[in-house]
Amino acid sequence: MRVRMTRKWAAPAVAAAAAVVATMVVNPTPGASASAPQSAAKSKAPAAKNVIFINGDGMGSAAREAARLHLAGLYGQLTMDKLAASGQLTTTPDDPKSVITDSAAAATAWATGEKTYNGAISVDVDGNKLATLGAQAKANGKATGLVTTAQVTDASPAAFFANTANRSAQDEIARQYIEVSKPDVILGGGEDWWLPKGTPGAFADKPAEDTSEGSVGTKGNLINKAKNKGYTYVNSAKQLDKAKGSKLLGLFANEEMFQQRPEGQGDVYSPVVDLPTMTDKALSTLSKNKKGFFLMVEEEGTDEFAHSNNGARVLQSMQQLEKTVAIARAYVATHPDTLLVVTGDHETGGLSVEEATDTADESGDGISREDGPFSIRGSDRTFVIDWTTSGHTSVDVPVTASGPLSAEFSGKHPNTYVHDVLARILAPRG
């Protein structure tokens, strides 16, 4: 399946974000005066220049509903659900062995407009390289960046900036970042893939929380290569805060920036630098480019903890994602030439939200157990999460958007449609 199109967009500065986050009201025509006539507002709508694309990995509608109850209350609303336009995306891959997508095939659909097989990073079903939005944005003079709580070379960010037949080749993906696609900002985990085996970096090999972690790269010391190519390298919150310049590499964990296990079995979500902070830094760095930017942001914990059927950590990850969306929405409020899109690559866990007072668990134990109860904000009531699998499902995922072209996301579309809209900004024709 091949779907393509094109269009355009804009950039720059994250100053009063906190104040705007606290007071913001959705304006379906960003930048237009509330008192201006509709026709005048439309005529003054800014051209699209920037794109902030946010992936809650594994986040289906039920995960958003669980987060809404827990974080916003019975009648509250998440920031990600306040965006002006909403729709649904189907996620089926082009894979002869599966009708359920993985993150690689799903992100490839976003990044290239083509369906492919599970495990593929922006190559087609025959293994041929596909043009990616990250590379196209760079070719059009825009700044580019990726931020994730997974390894920076994990499937979702990789699909926008690399091409490989196998998502597991993360050291090759890192090499392509530095030598080929050259995103200006790279922030997240996965230091292990940037250093040769036996060469630990800022994060020790075989840490107590997971002794399987350790440097495994086969492409040389890619951190040093990045420095030689002008990247400022950081590995702590303090260093990130002080970092200057337009090219930034930050690696803040051996692998993912958390330990994904069932509740009470060594599960940890305490990143060295949290997703909102990384996103804010990325925006302030990328926005210096007058031609605009493309930023891909991902919360990985929403997927990994769902694989472990860990409702408490999924909700914690959703809270970090929600804070990140608030920062991005504040940026859009002061930069109305920016398109913000929030979605998920697929659903994980077969999560459903159920009454906590129903003591008969019709699903059984183990993978199908009920999880909770979890509090509902501003209420003495609770709910439970019921899991049906530890894998992915094929249910549609919600997509919400604000800014230029956001109305395009209304309705139901295949996930390749994301590419069609974003390409109109990042890879415009003619």
Residue 44 has a pLDDT of 59
Residue 370 has a pLDDT of 85
Residue 428 has a pLDDT of 78
Residue 374 has a pLDDT of 97
Residue 298 assigned ligand-binding role: yes
| Ranges of the chain whose pLDDT falls below 50 | 1-43
Q: Is 406 a catalytic residue?
A: no
CA distance 113 to 402: 21
Residue 392 assigned ligand-binding role: yes
CA distance 212 to 28: 49
159: tokens are 């699909």
Residue 45 has a pLDDT of 62
Residue 156 assigned ligand-binding role: yes
Burial 278-304 (b: 16+ CB within 10 A, else e): bbbbbbbbbbebeebbbbbbbbbbbbb
Residue 194 has a pLDDT of 98
Indicate the pTM of the whole model: 0.89
Residue 26 has a pLDDT of 34
Q: Which of 39, 103, 390, 394 is catalytic?
A: 103
CA distance 359 to 334: 48
19 phi, psi to nearest 5 deg: -65, -40
Residue 303 assigned ligand-binding role: yes
Residue 57 assigned ligand-binding role: yes
Residue 369 has a pLDDT of 77
CA distance 118 to 79: 31
Residue 358 assigned ligand-binding role: no
CA distance 76 to 87: 20
Residue 39 has a pLDDT of 36
Other CB atoms within 10 A of residue 2 CB: 11
Residue 154 assigned ligand-binding role: yes
Residue-averaged pLDDT of the chain: 89
Task: Tell me the C-alpha to C-alpha distance, in Å, between residue 94 and each of 101, 123, 124, 164, 413.
Answer: 9, 12, 9, 16, 16
pLDDT digits (tens, 9 = 90+) for 13-45: 444 444 444 434 333 333 333 333 333 334 456
pLDDT digits (tens, 9 = 90+) for 100-140: 999 999 999 999 999 999 999 999 999 999 999 999 999 99
Q: Which of 282, 114, 63, 274 is nearest to 185 (CA)?
A: 282
Longest dimension (CA), the chain: 65
> Which residue ranges form the domains of the chain, and what is each CATH number?
45-426 (3.40.720.10)
**Helix H or strand E encompassing 90:** strand 85-90
